[in-house]
A and B are shown apart, each in its own frame.
Chain A
Amino acid sequence: MIEPVPTVLVVDDSPTVRKIVQMTLQRERIRVITAGDGLSALTSVADEMPALILLDIQLPRMDGYHICQIIRKNLQFRTIPIIMLSGKDGLFDKMRGRLAGSTEYLTKPFDSAELIQTVKKHLIGWQQRMPPQYESMRTRLRRRG
């Protein structure tokens, strides 16, 4: 019997950030998928229905606010918690993130422990949010991995 594990999508144009977040969360038994730009991120959301999204604001072509808005407008994906990652610590940026529909805001450079804590907080009850077709797919994927 295999226990299902949550999948977190990390969207950041920096490979360093993607790999660090991946390494940090994998240690916590969280499956991590990554995307380097907005379009790949939206494809991953549709394909994988992650339990949580870590989304950088400054991305090539389509910024994080825009991606967040697209996800929030989709009925199937609107409940996915989105944690915005940004180097900007200003109140205006945080507010803009909130208006776009983000759940929480993490300022770069973030601390690994803080990242784990925030992710875990928003993963509570992830299985209830998951449509059945995605859950069975995830189990298959995890087994393959």
Chain B
Amino acid sequence: MEPQDSIMDGDLQTLGLQSILKMLALSGKTGTLFVHSGLESLSISLRKGQIVALREKGPIQPDLLGMLCLINKLDPPRAHLVREVAQGNMQVELATLVDRNWMSAAEMQQRLEFAVTQSISHALRWVDGYFSFHRQLVAMESRMQPLDIDSVLLEALRQADEWEEMGETQLTRTTVARWLPEVSNDVRSLGLSQEHIEVLCLANGEVPLQAMAMVLMIPEARVAHVMNRLLELRLIEVVDTTLEAQLQQDLSNIIIMSQHMLAQQQQNLAPEQHLLGLIKTLSQCINGLLIHHGTYAKSLRGRGQLPVAEIVRYLERRFAQPLHLIAKQQYSILETAIFANGQLDCMEIINLDKLVKGEKLEEFYWEAVLGLATFLRTVFATLLNDEVGDSHTGRQLSYVWKAFLTEIDQEIQQYQLYRAHQNTQQRNRYSEVTFPNGPGWSSVPHSEGNPYWSPETQRRSI
């Protein structure tokens, strides 16, 4: 849009949006009104003083089809088909749903009308910002019937007032909520209304309050009321996106560091050194995760600077028990690993080469690798569930984590292959020498530098 097209502009403090719209309606103007405030902006297309289309630009890009699926108003395969046609344009999505008879034309009009009212209601509360009205009508794909500005303004003001009446609340239109992972009982027994259940269905950690209001066609303030109730019932929690971004970055750094260590230790050709490298990588990764959890654990975060002793107590309470269990049930070598200052101390395992050599050392190292890999999985699963639960961030981190675990497993399998190969070679050599009498497995001598893979080790395959 060229600047000379503008026939009216100014700041919102001088002339509010309500007055601008009234003025344009009275004079029956045709053109586009642009309103900007901070990072948000709105463009309203008018024809003869009536609203024909509206576009809101801001940090939120609601996924209408996804939300309709969440509240069971659309099947995922149908949503997929519409998505391919509409290519992210909400107006086209609605039109396609109507064309395919998956939504009535009346519902589409109602939804478009609601979305316009909702956006204007939000913009009415902008204090700082500026506007400009352009004679040119920007083409926007919309099948909406023209809307009368007076009736839109009336409803928008009512919705804006509802927000004001909410008083002090931590909820905003960008608030994202998700189900608490602990909820396992049947929520129907709580006597929730249809509205509550629908908000609960949409609280998946991705849909902001504004988008919930849009898809349910209920004012944002009412959605906020419902959310407050669900928070009281401890069915949902509010997601802090900034915190989750930090948390994701911190975990990414730990995984990248561990992957780097893993790649570095691949250069160790000697099997003992290879296993030792794996032990160091795994224990460092565990300790990185423990430090991370000391900052981001749900019960520790948001409480400011906490005494180190309290964090240490928390970590030991949470992870010492699973470690002991793994040591007791499967990998007794882990009994030598201890918790000290909230960290896992594996020095006794790492320094085993001072006490034992050869095959026995490899056996111990191998058991430690398997034990630590098991414990690492437990630590990550526990912390992820506690910190982000089954949210979008949680799922993304799980996806990355699986890739890292695959790399660890490959390293472990590589060692298993080496042992199997060594084992076969040794057996063949022995058969050649002692074939006439027939070899006895238990009587095979263990030669230095060419160890057998004991039956016990074979049993412990991953």
Contacts and interface: CB of A to CB of B under 8 A. Distances in A.
B396 A23 contact: yes
B313 interface: no
List of 6 A-B pairs having minimum Cβ-Cβ separation, nearest first: A143-B87, A109-B260, A15-B403, A112-B249, A16-B404, A109-B257
B259 A14 contact: yes
A17 interface: yes
Contact of A113 (B88, B249, B396, B400): B249
A109 B253 contact: yes
* Majority-rule SS of A interface residues: helix
Question: Taking chain B's interface residues, is the majority helix, strand, or loop, or is none over half, making it mixed?
Answer: helix
B253 A27 contact: no
Contacts of A47: none
B260 A87 contact: yes
Contacts of B396: 23
Interface string A31-55: 0000000000000000000000000
A14 B252 CA distance: 14
Contacts, number: 61
Interface string B248-265: 110011011101100110
A12 to B, nearest CB: 10
What is the size category of the interface that chain A forms with chain B? 20 to 34
Nearest to B257: A109
27 contacts: A2-B89, A14-B259, A14-B263, A15-B406, A16-B259, A16-B403, A16-B404, A17-B256, A17-B259, A19-B399, A19-B400, A19-B403, A20-B255, A23-B248, A23-B400, A24-B249, A24-B252, A27-B245, A27-B248, A87-B260, A87-B263, A108-B260, A109-B260, A112-B249, A112-B252, A113-B249, A143-B88
Nearest to B405: A16
A14 B266 CA distance: 13
Contacts of A121: none
Interface in B367-400: 396-397, 399-400
B84 interface: yes
Contact of B264 (A19, A24, A27, A87): A87
Contacts of B229: none
Contacts of B263: 14, 87
Nearest to B244: A27
Interface in A81-121: 87, 108-113
Contacts of B150: none
Nearest to A114: B253
A16 B400 contact: yes
A15 B403 CA distance: 6
Nearest to B399: A19
A73 interface: no
B422 to A, nearest CB: 26
A2 B88 contact: yes
Contact of A16 (B89, B249, B255): B255
A119 B232 CA distance: 43
